[in-house]
Structure 1
């Protein structure tokens, strides 16, 4: 006959852990932040102003933090007229001061 093993009293026996499926809370959305980026282009004669935008998409693995961002563009044009003298009028002779 084989002897049965009984652990000493006061020593706990451990069962294998039970792993349950992950539970997901609804996403927490922070209020959006708005940024205004102003580009000023001064033009005296015809110029070509090229621009380039690089979009970086960063994926955060495991922590699942999301940072949505939108971008808009406003084109503004400011003009000045500079009078560098007076136009010549051939019909009226210049008056002496």
Structure 2
């Protein structure tokens, strides 16, 4: 008798193992507000001048009242 020959038969099965890796995305919308404050200022200057005339007496008028008299008409 001969020695027993040994044979190997392989049965291969493919197996799928799902690996779930959940993820989540949060979108954050940021708005920055820059409040700018302005304080416009204007300036004006007003010059006022007041004038009076005080007659302290009457002016000297040679020849009368100063009216011209026409002669010969």
If the length of structure 1 is used for normalisation, what is the TM-score?
0.28
Greater RCO, 1 or 2 (C-alpha within 8 Å, sep 6+): 1
If the length of structure 2 is used for normalisation, what is the TM-score?
0.34
